[in-house]
Amino acid sequence: MYNAKAYAAASEKSPLASTTIARRDPTPNDVQIEILFCGICHSDLHQVRNEWSGVMPTVYPCVPGHEIVGRVTKIGTGVTKFKVGDIGAVGCMVDSDGTCANCAEGEEQFCPNFILTYNFPDKHTGGVTYGGYSDSIVVDQRFVLKVPGNLDLAGAAPLLCAGITTYSPLHHWGVGEGKKVGIVGLGGLGHMGVKFAHALGAHVVLFTTSPNKKDDALRLGADEVVISKDANEMAKHAGSFHFILDAVSADHDINAFLNLLRRDGNMTLVGAPEKPMAVSSFNLLMGRRSLSGSIIGGTVETQEMLDFCGEHNITSDVEVIPIQKVNEAYERLLKSDVKYRFVIDMASLKKEA
């Protein structure tokens, strides 16, 4: 074991603060990474504040962060995928059983025994896993991805969660040319959804509660922007969408969007607000519409997404911050004031004692 610098929350009411955590020394299949950049996902905020207590209660201290890009500093004797000095990336998962049907298909995100990057049991240390708000991490090579060389590293970090979480359902539901697609919420996930749906050739409509994001949405690839609080604007799109991706982090009325789906249209939730939502059954009965969910993506699809980003030169629009500003960034996330992902420059952690 060795000591790593990190930022952790000591309780659901505590701000994140500098600390030291124990990491394992690399075992034969492990890759040790010096973390260069880590994105701030709204899931980090939900988890730090224990907003998902019913599903995955937070164990403190909690070190969040699952949009990790860094440099390989050490490898185990069995590692073939990376050498020291390479760039490696880690997303939301660091382990799975490797034996179930989902793992066999490279869909480890559905493995009943998957281990998320933070707040999950850590078989090596006996505690819980600690995420990327840290100067280093040690991860099994199966869960370390390769970043195409042409991508800016700070802009690539959010691909590891916001990227794959939007790429995966767009593919699963056949988004492409000739499809009218809605993206709800222009935050970290939503802005990647707009970029991917546009790159796939769909007609993209962005729904936002923030009128000041309209120009950005058009620049990012939306063909139209609808202010979702404006009932007249919403009514113009009734019954017209093949697919809608909802990436909203807070309580909102999803019925207003279900009503915009055409016959057999699907709305997929990736947003994970704290409280359950109400669904009017008539909005689904009419037109045989469906409502579903999606969670991140497996290692195979995550690498495919990174390679797609390399080919199409897609990265996240980021605001790079020092780690000392992380608590301020959380407050801004709650005000939908992010353009469009905060990414921590981990060199700033060196300043901490």
Residues lying near ligand NAP in the complex (CB under 6 A): 41-43, 46, 161-162, 165, 185-190, 208-210, 213, 247-252, 270-273, 294-296, 333, 336, 338
With respect to ligand NAP, which residue has the nearer C-beta, 26 or 185? 185
**Residue 275 Cβ, how far from ligand NAP at the closest point, in Å?**
11
Helix ranges (H only) for the chain are 42-48, 101-104, 153-156, 162-172, 188-199, 214-220, 231-235, 255-258, 281-285, 299-312, 326-334
SS (H, E, C) 7-34: EEECCCCCCEEEEEEEECCCCCCEEEEE
41-100 residues in contact with Zn ion (CB under 5 A) are: 41, 43
Smallest gap from Cβ 138 to Zn ion, in A, equals: 20
Region from 40-48, 136-144, 195-203, 218-226 binding Zn ion, contact rule CB under 5 A: 40-48
* Token representation of residue 64: 């969040």
Q: Quick one: 25 or 337, whose CB is closer to ligand NAP?
A: 337
List C-alpha distances in Å: 351 to 3, 64, 120, 321, 346: 16, 19, 28, 14, 10
Instruction: Report the amino acid identity of residue 250.
Output: A
Residue 304, number of CB atoms within 10 A of its CB: 17
Span interacting with Zn ion, options 24-32, 35-43, 270-278, 282-290, rule CB under 5 A: 35-43
- Partner from Zn ion, ligand NAP, none contacting 222, C-beta within 5 to 8 A by type: none
Which residue, 30 or 246, has its beta carbon nearer to ligand NAP? 246
Burial class (CB in 10 A: 0-12, 13-18, 19+), 284: middle
Distance CA 335, CA 338 (A): 8
- Cα separation, 300 vs 265, whole angstroms: 27
C-beta of 30 vs 216, nearer to ligand NAP: 216
Q: Which is nearer to ligand NAP, 111 or 338 (CB)?
A: 338
Which range in 8-16, 38-46, 50-58, 179-187 contacts Zn ion by CB under 5 A? 38-46
With CB atoms as reference, the residue minimizing the distance to Zn ion is 41
Query: What does 338 bind: ligand NAP, Zn ion, none (CB cut-off 5 to 8 Å by kind)?
Result: ligand NAP
Q: How far apart are CA 330 and CA 109, in angstroms?
A: 26
Q: Which of 30, 37, 38 is closest to 2 using CA atoms?
A: 30
CB of 43 to Zn ion, least distance (A): 4
- Answer with the entry of Zn ion, ligand NAP, none that 198 interacts with (C-beta below 5 to 8 A by kind): none
